[in-house]
Amino acid sequence: MNITLQDIQTAHERIAPHIHRTPVLTNKSINAIAGCDIYFKCENFQKIGAFKIRGGMNASLSLSTDKLKNGLATHSSGNHAQAIAVPVHDIAIQVRDNEIVLGTHGRSVYVAKLDEVQKMK
């Protein structure tokens, strides 16, 4: 699969209304330790605290209306599930009666992450 600059620009335009524009920061102390300039793309400032919202949103918005009628499904232990939950909320996709099911290991962490998504409503 060849991804072109146009593909990237199209994806950006598709997801732009649904994501935060995040800063790129640098740190003099870390630069001094590394001996070069290091830049940090602060995706922790995204709605879900992770970059995965970009992929989840783009994948969701790329689906046809007919495919979206079947809902969305993902297998995730947290961040990707959140990345699918946001498009479900933002573009009103029906996901199995609006339920997102996560594994039970570390359940309190997952519930807390989904609670954060619920607060966006």
What is the set of active-site residues? 52, 77
Q: Give CA–CA dist 19/25, Å, rounded.
A: 18
Query: Helices marked H in the chain — which ranges?
Result: 5-15, 28-34, 52-62, 65-68, 79-90, 107-119
Encoding tokens for residue 11?
């994806």
Run of H or E residues at 73: none
